[in-house]
Structure 1
Amino acid sequence: MKLGLFVIVFSLFFLPCQGQKEESFELVGSHTQAVIVLPKTESEAVRLAAEDLVSDIQKITDKTIEITSQKPTQGGAILIQTTPKNSEVYRLTSQNKNLLITGESDLGTVFGIYHFIEHYLGVDPMYFWNDKEPEKKTRLFWEKVDYQSVNSTFKFRGWFINDEDLLTEWYASGGKRNIDYPYYQEVVSPKIMEKVCETALRKKFNLIIPASFIDIRNPAEAALVKEATKRGLYVSMHHVEPMGVSAFTYFNYWKEKDGSKPLFSYYSNPEKVKEVWRLYAQEWAKIPNVIWQIGLRGIADRPMWMADPNTPQTDAERGRLISEAMAFQRQLIKEVDKRPNPPVTTTLWAEGSTLNQAGHLKIPENVTVVFADNSPGWRWQADFFETKRVPTHKYGVYYHHQLWSSGPHLVPIVSPAQTERVLQQAVEKGDIEYCILNVSNIREFGLGIDASAQMLWDFKAFDLQKFNNQWFEKYYHQQANDIQKIYQAYFDSFRLNPQSQTPILMDGQTNQLATRILNDLKLQLTDSTRYQALLKQRKQESEESKWAKSLGDMSSGNLSREDLLEEVLLQKNALLNAEKLAHKVEQTPFFKTDFLAHLKIMLSLTTWLEHVMKAKLALDHHQLTQAKQLLQKALLPFETIREAQALKTQGEKWALWYRGEKKMNLKAKEKLTREVVELLK
């Protein structure tokens, strides 16, 4: 049926009988069962959402709804229609015993379908990650359905699947990656990426960076991009891989071409870098709805000059080099992307933020400038506040629910209240063209994702207290108030840098601090000369330490070891208080996986660090026996960590959730602790 004829027939079915107003709609009854009318002209993305609707109805009623391209002569129907107007607005209307779902774009229609699934069928958008299945019903009936969506606050709203060690090895691998980096040898299963994309859409996100360091020429990695695009999502690139090219991709290209390994440097080898950019630009231009990333980064999310000592040493010269690279990339995009105005972004992460703040970057016109928080969820960098917004650019933000290596990673730490405070500043600045959220392995950050989704869609309507009340009531029912206080006690437990007001003892930070001390102990016990040389070296500022400073002060600052230990103890006591409160409520399966497991992991890491720090102080005072006893105590928290992981791995589905845990690599940290204990014997 042609679209014009379909619209006429569609309209006729929605004309009420003369003198009669019928707004009720019965989807499934004891003797009735509606159908879904999906025109053949609708996109694959809309069809897949309609299939999810069928699946969810089946979960609730055990009945399978038919999808057809033509409405039958009798019975009710869900009529799905896209009327292109270049927006994501959608509407749900019941009339004449039918339900009409319309969208002003493919994504608008998709969001309309998922809105009906969530708000009328009662299906949790995060069901795949929290195992919350919808309530069984024998009848699905509504007196009236009438909902008109708003235009979203942020135009592009995305997930960055970054540092995804747990996702990578949870299911059978989607294929091998050719990358000289220990964390990313396997490709996330396409089955998992399908669920990632489905969940993002159910939460009304429209953009995804589907993995760290994607090589689009590797079919297994390209499959992840395909999973996103077939569902209608925009796709973009990690900020460390502008034009879709990371250092790893660059090395792979030249090894494949002539067996060489040229220096990855736009300064020393500009033509070689440009050649790879050009090839990958041509490949990425084939991807529907690509959002380009431009910029200039080095190896392993470091500044480019750390791999090439010949690079100019002044910030002005370095800024000029990055600006020249962006100008070339912008022109290259014009050549390969035939869209009238393809979206292009540059993410001001690390040195990008510093150079921009100093006025050393010239960003091409019609590029969306993306400011980064750089301290996970806590504050924007100085350039966010100091950059003058100009009409030749649009502006957006990059926000971390997860940030490796400081954390959060294995546990959530950023509260919805903190997210609201920071995003409020972005809205006030008008930086609403783009917002990408680093959500890593997703499952750890359900509360944060739920809150952020609402903020990005309609920030003006977001009410923190209302959100919290509804969220905790949804998952905890009669215990909602008590458990909300427990979550808050946990969020309040983290100690802050007194100057920057950013956390100093998140999971990644405790891991780094304890690991560094243990390695110091190992060297101190085996080679005192090298140990003294290491201490002397640390007093000198290196290029690495300068780069680390550009990320913002997420460290313990100038605290002495004794003062830092006091902060560790204060955090431990606050976490113990949260644990005490947790023992007073009924520990449902969701409470165990969403909260208790994370609390146990964080408390264990803090306790591990406490004993490691005390052992170092004891050894420095030549108290070897006490140092050994303290390190033996430092091994005990790993037993609790295993208990916590057991809470999150119950059931066949989650049995291998921690198989890919290589970022924190807690097994290796337990082994290191044992090695130092043995040295003290």
Structure 2
Amino acid sequence: MTATRILTGIALTLAAPLCTYGQVTIYHGANSTPTELAVCADLREDIEKVTGATARITTEPAGITGTDICYLVGTPASSQLLSKMLKNEKPGGDGIIRTTGALTILAGTTVEGMQNTVYEYSRTTLGIDPMYYWTGIAPSKKKLADLRKTQNRIVPAQKVPIVCYFENDVDELANMRKPYLEYDMDTWKGMINSLRRIRYNAIHPFDMLGRPEFYTREPYRQLRPDYKVNLPLVDSMIDYAHLKGMKVQVDLSLGYHMRSISDTEALCWTQYKDKWIETWIYYLTKTPLGKADIYSLRPRNQIWDRAYVSSCGENRVEIFNQVFATLDSLLAIYKPGALKVCTCYDDGMDLFNEGFQPPKDFIVVWADDGYCSFDRMPASTKGYPFGTYMHAGFWTNHTVHDPCPPLIDSIMTFMHQHYDADKYLKVNGQTFRPFLLNLEAFGEWAFDPENFDGEAFYRQWTTRYFGQQASPHAIASMKKLHESHFSRTGYVKKLSDIKKLIGFLSDTKVPTPHGSFTARYNDLEAPGTEQRHALVEAAYKAAAKGLSAGNDFYHDYVYLPALMYWQLLELEKTLLTAAHLKQAFLTNGEKQNIAKAEQLAVKAMQQMKAIDKTCMEGDRNPQWKTWYDPAKRRPNNGFPTTGMITAIQQHLHQLSAR
């Protein structure tokens, strides 16, 4: 049955348009779920934002007349009017959008379909930016008369049934407000609302459950000495995700602050399996984790993100066959009906190819290498429903994104065609805000894998956000930025290289989370340094060309990251040259070399101050003004300081005085 015939039936059922009382009325069914009511509230906010009109929400009547603009929103299960109309036949896809005169019908085949239908209407007809919380891009104003324009279309259903966002490595987000290392609800709601509007229908909280680094690693202990996981907040986060129609996934790893096994217990399942089982049961029965809808596990170390290295001579394949079978049995008791996911990450992929087999009711998820590529493939899917775990952002480029819609297109299509990896998609977005382009690209691919075009998406996305004139400059800049990420190296990885240079030039130990070491001269110049510098410089210059045509979001999303990365690599270039001069002095004793190195240290101080200034000035959008403050940023690989440059100057001066 076509949407036209269906909605003709509605018109006959109502006998007249459903319109009365005030400027805009949103009608919902008497049996609407909390999620449906929440979507109606979103629609009201969208309409009021765009038109300036007042919109009210009320239960559908039996039939009324009027001329004011109104909406009928719901599903056959919640709305008697829609149930009568859809009694014999149902539309395909998620739902239908139909505007005839003053009446707009937004009818979903399911609650999720109804959500997708309403958000599709808000995006395409009202012009609402799904990422408004992050971009600050306000919709153009419309007249109420614009809402009467006739339209009649079916909203297609998403092809990948589960598209899950992984909340991981979120320091900047978690440190927007105190107490540090936990969200305020505004941030969480902003994330959930945006994700749901781009069709992500699941979320996997991790950091907010109390990841082990937060209470064991020294930088975090300094940032928040009294850290304790906020379980009431976790409970509220899960409730809000459910309210907005998202499934919640929880990884049943065993290192959370709420209760953790010890490092000793994590290395021998055979001896300590009772501790593992006891902790799982605690999570499922005594904490908000028991409210999740999807449970996952990796065949790896259950506390740290590394391989499982048995302390008692176990065979890893045999052990994880036992571990997953045991967990499967527990979930059958405590969470019957829950979805189950086995994430094969890093060495976990090798185990799967070597004979590891979780129970057949698990979805097996294959992980990329962090940069939308795979360094190993499944020898066979073994008949499992298959999905992918992908990175919109990775820890080695945590601060500056690697924009790659065309790569997302090619690699996801490859996995879809060769391994039927379309039953599930999880996307790691790191701190979310720097990775909006890739996040939406993954969502668009999952919506229609057969027809997604990465290049076309690139043009559409940049034009939508930056306009026709700035779009080519944005694409040119971001493509160069993508090229610069060769060898899985990004902004954060370069911090590590700079840290070694500082150690060598100041004659100090280089600190790491696992101890310290002495930097060796022969290890200072990373492969591809000159090529990377040239690519990032090209990205920066291309971004600068679009500044006059772009908006504030162009500055914040395109220009600022390219500027920050270029400034960092300029500092690296200066320090590397100084290191060559210091080594030459140590080799031949020529004072002119150390004198030139001292001059470069002065230049490095100027560059370091410029970096600090850029970080502290930050975004034009005042909501994100302190985002790049080094004091609150993720501490992986550290961050250079003027104090470190001073230490270099002092050491070089001591050498010159010999």
- Per the normalisation by structure 2, the TM-score is 0.82
Distance 1:652 1:171 in 2: 14
Distance 1:596 1:534 in 2: 36
Amino acid at match of 1:57: I
Match of 2:112 in 1: 107
Match of 2:246 in 1: 233
Distance 2:123 2:519 in 1: 57
- Written as runs of structure 1 = structure 2, the 5 A alignment for 1:227-306 is 227-237=240-250, 242-243=251-252, 245-246=254-255, 248-251=257-260, 263-267=265-269, 268-282=271-285, 283=287, 286-287=290-291, 289-293=293-297, 295-305=299-309
Deviations 1:113-161 (A, max 9, x none): 1111101101111111110001122323243222212232211112112
- Written as runs of structure 1 = structure 2, the 5 A alignment for 1:298-447 is 298-305=302-309, 310-312=311-313, 317-339=315-337, 342-357=338-353, 359-377=354-372, 379-382=373-376, 384=377, 386-391=378-383, 393-404=384-395, 406=396, 408-428=397-417, 429-447=419-437
Match of 1:4 in 2: none
Aligned-pair distance for 1:286? 4.0
Which stretches in structure 2 are left out of the alignment for 5+ residues?
1-6, 78-89, 211-228, 587-592, 654-658
Structure 1 pair 535/673, CA: closer, same or farther in 2 (3 Å)?
closer
- Please tell me whether the aligned partners of residues 509 and 516 of structure 2 are also in contact (alpha carbons under 8 angstroms): no
Match of 1:124 in 2: 129
217-226 or 366-375, which deviates more: 217-226
Distance 1:640 1:535 in 2: 26
- 2:167 is aligned with 1:151: no
290-299 or 346-355, which deviates more: 290-299
Aligned-pair distance for 1:347? 0.9
- 2:522 is aligned with 1:584: no
Structure 1 SS opposite 2:117: helix
- Please tell me whether the aligned partners of residues 403 and 437 of structure 2 are also in contact (alpha carbons under 8 angstroms): no
Amino acid at match of 2:107: T
Distance 1:98 1:147 in 2: 15
- Please tell me whether the aligned partners of residues 16 and 96 of structure 1 are also in contact (alpha carbons under 8 angstroms): no
Deviations 1:2-27 (A, max 9, x none): xxxxxxxx997522899x9x9xx999
- Please tell me whether the aligned partners of residues 370 and 393 of structure 2 are also in contact (alpha carbons under 8 angstroms): no
- Please tell me whether the aligned partners of residues 405 and 455 of structure 2 are also in contact (alpha carbons under 8 angstroms): no
Distance 1:353 1:213 in 2: 27
Match of 1:77 in 2: 70
Match of 2:3 in 1: none
- 2:618 is aligned with 1:637: no
Aligned-pair distance for 1:367? 0.7
Distance 1:577 1:532 in 2: 35
Aligned-pair distance for 1:459? 1.6
Structure 1 pair 299/522, CA: closer, same or farther in 2 (3 Å)?
farther
Structure 1 pair 490/670, CA: closer, same or farther in 2 (3 Å)?
farther
Deviations 1:303-355 (A, max 9, x none): 343xx6x2437xxx12222222111111111111132xx21001111221232
Structure 1 pair 534/492, CA: closer, same or farther in 2 (3 Å)?
closer
Amino acid at match of 1:371: W
- Please tell me whether the aligned partners of residues 208 and 234 of structure 1 are also in contact (alpha carbons under 8 angstroms): yes
- 2:30 is aligned with 1:48: no
Distance 1:166 1:525 in 2: 27
Distance 1:190 1:88 in 2: 33
Amino acid at match of 1:275: E
Aligned-pair distance for 1:363? 1.7
Structure 1 SS opposite 2:364: strand
- Please tell me whether the aligned partners of residues 353 and 381 of structure 1 are also in contact (alpha carbons under 8 angstroms): no
- 2:566 is aligned with 1:573: no
Structure 1 pair 617/353, CA: closer, same or farther in 2 (3 Å)?
farther
Deviations 1:350-380 (A, max 9, x none): 22123223x1422221111111112322x11
Amino acid at match of 2:255: S
- Please tell me whether the aligned partners of residues 555 and 619 of structure 2 are also in contact (alpha carbons under 8 angstroms): no
- Please tell me whether the aligned partners of residues 615 and 631 of structure 1 are also in contact (alpha carbons under 8 angstroms): yes
Structure 1 pair 648/523, CA: closer, same or farther in 2 (3 Å)?
closer
Amino acid at match of 1:677: Q
Aligned-pair distance for 1:647? 5.6
Match of 2:499 in 1: 515
Amino acid at match of 1:147: R
Aligned-pair distance for 1:620? 2.6
Distance 2:432 2:505 in 1: 36
- Please tell me whether the aligned partners of residues 187 and 221 of structure 1 are also in contact (alpha carbons under 8 angstroms): no
Structure 2 counterpart of 1:604, from 551, 558, 567: 567
- Please tell me whether the aligned partners of residues 14 and 96 of structure 1 are also in contact (alpha carbons under 8 angstroms): no
Match of 2:558 in 1: 595
Structure 2 counterpart of 1:614, from 577, 588, 600: 577
Match of 1:555 in 2: none
- 2:186 is aligned with 1:191: yes
Match of 2:627 in 1: 657
Amino acid at match of 2:12: L
- Please tell me whether the aligned partners of residues 417 and 464 of structure 1 are also in contact (alpha carbons under 8 angstroms): yes
- Please tell me whether the aligned partners of residues 13 and 96 of structure 1 are also in contact (alpha carbons under 8 angstroms): no
101-110 or 633-642, which deviates more: 633-642
Distance 1:86 1:232 in 2: 21
Structure 2 SS opposite 1:133: coil
Structure 1 pair 224/141, CA: closer, same or farther in 2 (3 Å)?
closer
- Please tell me whether the aligned partners of residues 597 and 645 of structure 1 are also in contact (alpha carbons under 8 angstroms): no
Distance 1:675 1:657 in 2: 27
Amino acid at match of 1:323: N
Aligned-pair distance for 1:207? 0.9
Structure 2 SS opposite 1:347: strand
Amino acid at match of 1:79: L
- Please tell me whether the aligned partners of residues 496 and 637 of structure 2 are also in contact (alpha carbons under 8 angstroms): no
Amino acid at match of 1:163: D
- Please tell me whether the aligned partners of residues 415 and 491 of structure 1 are also in contact (alpha carbons under 8 angstroms): no
Match of 2:649 in 1: 677
Structure 1 pair 440/488, CA: closer, same or farther in 2 (3 Å)?
closer
- Please tell me whether the aligned partners of residues 490 and 599 of structure 1 are also in contact (alpha carbons under 8 angstroms): no
Aligned-pair distance for 1:265? 3.5
Structure 2 SS opposite 1:364: coil
Distance 1:271 1:230 in 2: 36
Distance 1:142 1:370 in 2: 45
Amino acid at match of 1:60: V
Amino acid at match of 1:321: I
Match of 1:545 in 2: none
Structure 2 counterpart of 1:57, from 8, 26, 47: 47
Match of 2:223 in 1: none
Distance 1:436 1:610 in 2: 37
Aligned residues: 595
- Please tell me whether the aligned partners of residues 320 and 362 of structure 1 are also in contact (alpha carbons under 8 angstroms): no
Structure 1 pair 535/514, CA: closer, same or farther in 2 (3 Å)?
closer
Which stretches in structure 1 are left out of the alignment for 5+ residues?
1-9, 174-184, 255-260, 497-501, 539-559
Aligned-pair distance for 1:217? 8.0
Distance 2:605 2:242 in 1: 46
Distance 2:252 2:411 in 1: 29
Deviations 1:41-86 (A, max 9, x none): 2222221121111111111122221100124723342111223699
Distance 2:196 2:135 in 1: 16
- Please tell me whether the aligned partners of residues 235 and 289 of structure 1 are also in contact (alpha carbons under 8 angstroms): yes
Aligned-pair distance for 1:213? 5.6
Aligned-pair distance for 1:669? 4.7
Amino acid at match of 2:60: Q
Q: Percent identity?
A: 17
198-207 or 92-101, which deviates more: 92-101
Structure 1 pair 362/649, CA: closer, same or farther in 2 (3 Å)?
same
